[in-house]
Structure 1
Amino acid sequence: MGKIIRKILGGFGTLSGASYPLRALLTFKRHPRLWKFIAVPILVNFVVAIALYGGLLFFGWQIVNGLEMDLALWLDRITTNLPQWLSFLEYAITGLFFVLRFILIIILLVATGFVLTQFGVLLGAPWYGQLSEQLEKIRTGKVEIIEINIVSDLGRAILYELKKLVLIAIVGIPLLVSGLFPGVGTVISTVGSFILTVTIVSLDFLDSPLERRRLRFRHKLSIVGRSLPASATFGVVCLGLISIPLVNLVTIPLCVASGTLFVCDRILPRLPRHYFLKS
């Protein structure tokens, strides 16, 4: 009865999933030796961030400025043709302009943080793997690894990235097309793109302990779905953390650590045995 009440109060994992970055931070505090495993990834993230924020963010900002100018011209035409008795709408339209500007900036920061994560997690994989192993040992008392040769390991890593790209294309292209239709299409595109981004982020941060068990990509994707709503709130919080410039240099390793704790607590105890099949 007590477990059921706790589940209800916790939104059936909603609040629990969102709390894992904080749990990871507390784990680092209790085990200071873990910090050495994120020193190199932070340096890698710093180098990648310089390239991304100096390039992608710069060109993205140019696009945002271009859209802002188009919006400003459009709003000027609207306010110029307003009758005198509707002049109060000018303030509302100006407010709408600033809201749209804010949304465009948020989208730009989220997109840049997402790309930084893809490169950062990939380049920092050896160190993140060691960190994940140490965390799993702390959490469960053991580390389970299905050993394979280096060629197979590299092949799985490349295949994983390709399958993510296929998933993004299969889901993202229809969403992009639907965004061309104002109204409902725009809403579907925005919400769908957000869900897709959160799913990819969840996959990346949960991957280390799952990959040690050599699970197939479809099983990893299934795990994200089976762990809802906790995996959704976990992904949303991580997406928010990696979208903050400079702060994300540290929060990316933190999210990798929180993903391992999430898997140890919520996935491994209920992981179907038939998932343990080599690709």
Structure 2
Amino acid sequence: MKKIAIYGKGGIGKSTTTSNLSAAFSEDGLKVCQIGCDPKNDSTRLLLGRICSQTVLDMVRDNDEVAAEDIVHTGYNGIKCVEAGGPEPGVGCAGRGIIVALEKLRSLEVLTDEDLIMYDVLGDVVCGGFAVPIREGYATDIYIVSSGELMSLYAANNIAKGVKRFAMRGGVRLGGIIGNGRNTPNEQQLLQEFAKRLHTQLIAFIPRDVIVNKAENNRQTVLQYAPESAQAGVYRKLAHDIWHNENMAIPTPMSFEELEKLVAEYGN
């Protein structure tokens, strides 16, 4: 079983990227489960065609006995979908939802026959809860989604620091940077150099395309909405490259001053 976690700054396109990857992997005949680790519980929206209202945290909070069918839902092409959920806005710790959800899934032993588990994880790893997928060995292959914008790169660099810390304890490794284009100056070249400085690779650069927005407006992945489009081909190639990726590394994060200098060099 391959266990992959997709990290990145909030709003950078992690859920869109993860969902399209899950769809591409499922097209290859793999048994896939996608686990959303975000209190907004919107990671699996494009796979289910709706917001998942039965999150693990909600079910555990409201029921003494929780069965697998209460929290594992079936989406596009048979993909299993799970949302960790979280507290009401302004109340409690969002990271706690991830801890409770993953512990419950482990205790129910519901994901033992999958070929691939995809974790879609919010933000960086400042909060211990969001670090659980890599800290506790739930995921071993880490990919970071980033654009060429400074704050996106800053979050990616912070995530790399967390991966480095936990890589010293076990088998977790960084598989690469997934560039999600925002049409900033010299964006692809900047991301390539950023990846090089982190001792990893730019495994893909996903160009900005309106077909992604149209698919999302129809609550579908690009692979479902426009399967013959060039953008669908980009996601399929990325899935292939991730599945066969052997370039797994312990990252070498940069200082913020180095990062600012790098962005200035390429962005001005």
Same fold (TM over 0.5): no
Relative to its length, the structure with more strand (as a share) is 2
Relative to its length, the structure with more helix (as a share) is 1
Normalised to the residue count of structure 1, the TM-score between the two structures is 0.24
Q: Max radius of gyration: which structure?
A: 1
Normalised to the residue count of structure 2, the TM-score between the two structures is 0.25
Relative contact order, higher structure (CA 8 A, sep 6+)? 1
